[in-house]
Structure formats: C-alpha cells, structure tokens
C-alpha cells in the first residue's frame, strides 16, 4: 500500500510539469496532443518489444482499451485547451474537481453504496472550483474545458481500475495511448475543416518539450500510476491527483509568474482543494477511513 502511494505521488509530481510544458509548446491543443500520443506510443512500443511484455488479449478487451484511449485523448485536448484559453494554473486546478465526479460515478460502475464522506470531500473541491470561476470569469472557456478534462479523467480512471489488474501496466498504456492517436487521426479531417489554418509542424524547441512531455510525464508517469492503481482505489488515486495543481502551480509561478495573473478567488479555491486532499489523507492516516 505504501509503495503504491509513493508511486502515485511520483506520477502526480511528474504530471505537475504538464501544465508548464503545455504552455511552453507553441502548438494548439489538438496538434499538441496528436504529436504527444504518437511519440508516447512509439516509446512504449520500443520498451514493450525489448522487454517482451506483450501478451495476448481478446478482441473485446482491445475494443475496451480503444474506448479508454479515446477518452484519454479527448481529456488531454480539453486540458491543453484549458491552458491555451486560460493558463496552466487554472487548467491544473480544474482537474481537482475529478474527485466529485469519481465519488458519483464509481459506486454506479462497481454497484456499491455511495460513500457520503467521499461526496463531502469531493464537494469541498467543487466549492473551491466555484470560487475560482466566480472571481476569474474572464477565463470561463478555459475553466469549462478544464472541468470537462476533470470529468473525463474520472471516467478513464474508473474504467482502468476494472482492467488494470489483468495486464502489464506498460502494455495497457501503449494500447490506450496508441488508440488515442488513432482516434485523433480519424477526427483530423473534421478538425481541419473547422480550423484549416492550424499549424501541425512543431518548432525546434517544441520537439524538445514534446519529447520531455512524452517520455517523462507520460511514459514514466502513466506506468507508475497504472501500477499504483492495482493497490489503491480510483477515488484515492483521483484525490492524490488533486496535488497535481499544487506542483504545477508552483512551477507556473516560478517560470511564468502566473501569480500576477490571478486574484484572491483563485487562492481561496486552491486552499479549499488542498483541504479536501488533506482531509482524505488524514482520514487514512488515523484509520478512520482506509481505501485499498
């Protein structure tokens, strides 16, 4: 359990860099994610080939991986869209609302009773998000995309929980992210119809940032998270992911000075979101609530 929590914390720390990298990359959200998915899938393919970790899966399972991968791809597009329309701090903070979506969806998927403590903790994060929206209305589109990304994050985390124990983590990530690339490629004609002047050619520095984003934040981070999900609940995983804004915002303040772009409402909101994570962690430590 402790090892799994450590892996999840490390994965979340790596994901904290996605916000500042997303802002550093000049490409718009769709081409950014399109490049990220094929680079990441190629890296996973090389690792799996040399480690001989491929195992046979059924057609039904393959379609399930493809479905989850498509959701992950749209989640990333919404997340980076949130960065482009708002900033890294707003986009990362929006992801914290995933806790309330998980508290609502997980009991329905696994046919369990609703845990009202989880709902309460998730609602604290949701109130924090409302404070940010109320005081930072100029970022309304970015916040909307960020909340969409959070909802999709909850969905694919729950779906992964149902299958991750049956397959090697890296193989799951390869099929899902590779499927995400194929899904975005199918959507490419539609996207270009509405946005015909979109640049798909990364600059020299974009290639560097995409490489770091794919190798460290995606390949390494995703492998750690999927491995951790074998031991912890999806609700615990999503709450730990709520620490991603903390890491990301600190980096955004350090690199881009985003603190000058944000008002008091943002800090009230991030305080409530941090409180929701702390309450859940405290509950686990004192033994009042143990989720495995």
pLDDT for the residue 290: 45
Average pLDDT over residues 260-266: 75
What is the value of pTM for the model shown?
0.83
Residue range 129-152, pLDDT digits in tens: 778 766 667 788 998 999 899 899
Model pLDDT, residue 282? 65
CA distance 87 to 20: 9
pLDDT at 213: 95
Spatial neighbors of 196 by CB under 8 A, at least 6 apart, are none
pLDDT > 70: percent of the chain: 90
Average pLDDT in the 35-59 region?
91
3-state SS assignment for residue 287: coil
Q: Between 30 and 94, whose confidence is greater?
A: 30
Higher local confidence (pLDDT), 278 or 210: 210
- Encode pLDDT of 152-201 as tens digits: 988 888 888 777 777 887 888 899 999 999 999 999 999 999 999 999 99
Residue where the block lists tokens 């050619």: 201
**With the C-alpha atoms ordered 110, 74, 228, 168, is the resulting torsion angle positive or negative?**
positive
Has residue 45 got a pLDDT over 80?
yes
Which residues fall within 8 angstroms of residue 84, CB to CB, at 6 or more apart? 22, 28, 29, 142
DSSP 288: S
Whether the Cβ atoms of residue 251 and residue 19 lie closer than 8 Å to each other: yes
Lowest-confidence pick of 98-102, 222-226, 286-290: 286-290
């Amino acid at each position: 359990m402790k090892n799994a929590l450590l892996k999840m914390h490390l994965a979340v720390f790596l994901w904290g860099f996605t916000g500042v990298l997303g802002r550093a990359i000049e490409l718009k959200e769709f081409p950014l994610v399109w490049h990220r998915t094929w680079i990441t899938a190629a890296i996973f393919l090389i690792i799996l080939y040399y480690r001989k970790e491929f195992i046979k899966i059924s057609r039904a399972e393959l379609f399930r991986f493809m479905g989850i991968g498509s959701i992950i791809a749209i989640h990333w597009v919404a997340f980076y869209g949130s960065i482009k329309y708002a900033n890294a701090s707003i986009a990362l903070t929006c992801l914290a609302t995933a806790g309330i979506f998980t508290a609502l969806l997980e009991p329905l998927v696994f046919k369990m009773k609703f845990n009202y403590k989880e709902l309460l903790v998730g609602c604290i994060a949701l109130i924090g998000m409302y404070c940010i929206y109320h005081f930072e209305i100029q970022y309304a589109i970015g916040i909307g995309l960020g909340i969409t990304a959070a909802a999709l994050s909850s969905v694919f985390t729950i779906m992964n929980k149902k299958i991750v124990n049956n397959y090697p983590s890296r193989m799951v990530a390869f099929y899902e992210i590779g499927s995400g690339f194929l899904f975005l490629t199918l959507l490419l004609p539609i996207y270009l119809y509405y946005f015909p002047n979109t640049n798909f050619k990364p600059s020299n520095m974009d290639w560097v940032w995409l490489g770091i984003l794919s190798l460290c934040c995606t390949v390494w981070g995703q492998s750690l998270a999927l491995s951790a999900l074998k031991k912890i609940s999806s609700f615990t995983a999503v709450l730990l992911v709520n620490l991603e804004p903390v890491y990301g915002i600190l980096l955004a303040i350090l690199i881009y000075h985003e603190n000058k772009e944000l008002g008091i409402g943002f800090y009230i909101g991030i305080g409530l979101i941090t409180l929701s994570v702390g309450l859940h962690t405290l509950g686990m430590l004192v033994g009042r609530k143990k989720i495995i």
